[in-house]
Amino acid sequence: MSMSFFKIYTDRWTKKVSRKAFSIKMLYAFIYPFSSGIVIYAGLMTFSVVVTNVTGLLPQIARDLYEGQLNTAASIFSWLFAFFLGGFLAGWCVEWEKVRKWRYLHLFPLLVVMTIFIMVALSSDTKGFHLVSFPALILFSIGIQNAMVSLTTSSLIKASQMTGVVNELGVDIAEIFHSEGEKRRLIQREALLRVIVMCSFLTGAMFSVAVFPALQTKIFFVPAGIIAGVIVHDVFRF
3-state secondary structure 200-218: HHHHHHHHHHHHHHHHHHH
| Sign of torsion over alpha carbons 69, 72, 74, 77 | negative
pTM of this prediction? Answer: 0.78
User: Which residues, 6 or more positions from 220, have their beta carbon under 8 angstroms from its beta carbon?
Assistant: 39, 42, 117, 118, 120, 121
Q: Are 143 and 85 in contact, with CB atoms under 8 Å apart? A: yes
- The 10s digit of each residue's pLDDT in 172-189 is 888 888 878 888 888 888
Give residue limits of the domains in the chain: 27-233
CATH 1.10.10 fits domain 27-233: no
pLDDT digits (tens, 9 = 90+) for 113-145: 999 999 888 876 555 566 667 888 888 988 888
| Percentage, residues of the chain above pLDDT 70 | 80
CA separation for the pair 90, 227 (Å, rounded):
14
- What DSSP string describes 34-53? HHHHHHHHHHHHHHSS--S-
- pLDDT at residue 197 above 70? yes
> Is pLDDT at 13 greater than 50 in this prediction?
no
